[in-house]
Amino acid sequence: NLGALSKPSLLPGPVRRCRLHPCRRQQVPLKMDISSGEDSDISESEMEEYEDKYYEKLKNGNYKIKVSNEKYTCPFCPKKKKQDFLYKDLLQHASGVGKSNSDKRSAREKANHLALFKYLENDLRGTVGSSSSSAAAAAAAEDPLSGCDHDEKIVWPWTGVVVNIPTQKLEDGRSVGGSGSKLRDELIRRGFNPLRVHPLWNYRGHSGTAVVEFRKDWPGLHNALSFEKAYEADHHGKKDWFANNGVKEGLYAWVARADDYKSSTIIGEHLRKIGDLKTVSELMEEEARKQDRLVTNLTNIIETKNKHIQEMEQRCSETSKSLEALMEEKDNLSQAYNE
Instruction: Indicate which CATH number applies to the domain containing 181.
Output: 3.30.70.2890
Is the same domain home to 251 and 172? yes
pLDDT of residue 44: 66
Q: How far apart are CA 186 and CA 165, in angstroms?
A: 14
Residue 268 confidence class, pLDDT cut points 50, 70, 90:
very high
Average pLDDT (22-31) is 43
Is the same domain home to 125 and 199? no
Positive or negative, the CA dihedral 294, 297, 303, 304 is: negative
Is the same domain home to 253 and 167? yes
- Minimal CA–CA distance to 211: which of 261, 161, 275? 161
Distance of CA 323 to the CA centre of its chain: 70
Is the same domain home to 124 and 161? no
Average pLDDT (181-186) is 90
Q: Which of 11-25, 194-208, 245-259 has the lowest mean pLDDT?
A: 11-25
Q: Residue 329: inside a domain, yes or no?
A: no
- 110 contacts 54 by C-beta, under 8 angstroms: no
Terminal C-alpha separation, the chain: 146
- 156 contacts 283 by C-beta, under 8 angstroms: yes
pLDDT in tens, 119-132: 888 777 766 544 33
pLDDT in tens, 68-113: 777 888 888 866 555 778 887 788 788 878 777 666 677 888 888 8
Q: Residue 145: inside a domain, yes or no?
A: no
Residue 188 DSSP code: H
Residue 2 confidence class, pLDDT cut points 50, 70, 90:
very low
Q: How far apart are CA 5 and CA 153, in angstroms?
A: 65
Q: State whether residue 184 is helix, strand or coil.
A: helix
Is the pLDDT confidence value at 315 over 50? yes
- Minimal CA–CA distance to 114: which of 182, 191, 50, 192? 50
Is the same domain home to 159 and 123? no
Q: How far apart are CA 254 and CA 210, in angstroms?
A: 11
**Backbone φ and ψ of 131, nearest 5°:** -65, -35
pLDDT of residue 143: 56
Helix axes 107-119, 47-59, angle to 10 degrees: 40
Is the same domain home to 111 and 172? no
Is the same domain home to 263 and 226? yes
Q: Between 100 and 224, name the one with better pLDDT.
A: 224
Please, which residues have CB within 8 angstroms of residue 256's CB and are 6 or more apart in sequence? 154, 155, 159, 160, 161, 211, 267, 271, 275
Residue 4 confidence class, pLDDT cut points 50, 70, 90:
very low
Q: Between 45 and 28, name the one with better pLDDT.
A: 45
What's the predicted TM-score (pTM) here?
0.53
Residue 257 DSSP code: B
Q: Residue 238: inside a domain, yes or no?
A: yes
Is the same domain home to 125 and 157? no
Cis-peptide into 157, omega within 30 deg: yes
Please, which residues have CB within 8 angstroms of residue 293's CB and are 6 or more apart in sequence? none
pLDDT of residue 145: 62
Is the same domain home to 177 and 94? no
Q: How many percent of the chain have pLDDT more than 70? A: 77
Is the pLDDT confidence value at 26 over 80? no
Q: Residue 91: inside a domain, yes or no?
A: yes
Q: How far apart are CA 177 and CA 188, in angstroms?
A: 20
Is the same domain home to 80 and 169? no
Is the same domain home to 269 and 157? yes
pLDDT of residue 133: 43
pLDDT of residue 233: 87
pLDDT of residue 128: 59
Exposure of 212 by Cβ count < 10 A (0-12 exposed, 13-18 middle, 19+ buried)? buried
Is the pLDDT confidence value at 339 over 80? yes
- 50 contacts 111 by C-beta, under 8 angstroms: yes
- The mean predicted confidence, pLDDT, of the chain is 79
Q: Residue 213: inside a domain, yes or no?
A: yes
Best-predicted range by mean pLDDT (13-17, 210-214, 219-223): 210-214
pLDDT of residue 139: 44
- Minimal CA–CA distance to 116: which of 96, 99, 94, 97? 94
Average pLDDT (208-219) is 92
Is the pLDDT confidence value at 300 over 80? yes
Average pLDDT (309-315) is 94
Average pLDDT (129-151) is 53
Residue finishing a domain among 244, 274, 304:
274
pLDDT of residue 332: 93
Residue finishing a domain among 77, 94, 129:
129
Q: Residue 305: inside a domain, yes or no?
A: no
| Count of structural domains, the chain | 2
Segments forming the whole domain that contains residue 105: 46-129
Q: Residue 332: inside a domain, yes or no?
A: no
Is the same domain home to 157 and 269? yes
- Which of 172-178's residues contact partners 24+ apart within 8 Å by CB, and which partners? 173/204, 174/204, 174/205, 175/204, 175/205, 175/206, 175/207, 175/208, 176/205, 176/206, 177/206, 177/208
Q: Which of 83-92, 187-196, 287-296 has the lowest mean pLDDT?
A: 83-92
Is the pLDDT confidence value at 27 over 60? no
Residue 141 confidence class, pLDDT cut points 50, 70, 90:
very low
Q: Residue 333: inside a domain, yes or no?
A: no
Residue 46 confidence class, pLDDT cut points 50, 70, 90:
confident
- 64 contacts 75 by C-beta, under 8 angstroms: yes
Residue finishing a domain among 274, 289, 313:
274
- Minimal CA–CA distance to 278: which of 151, 147, 146, 148? 151
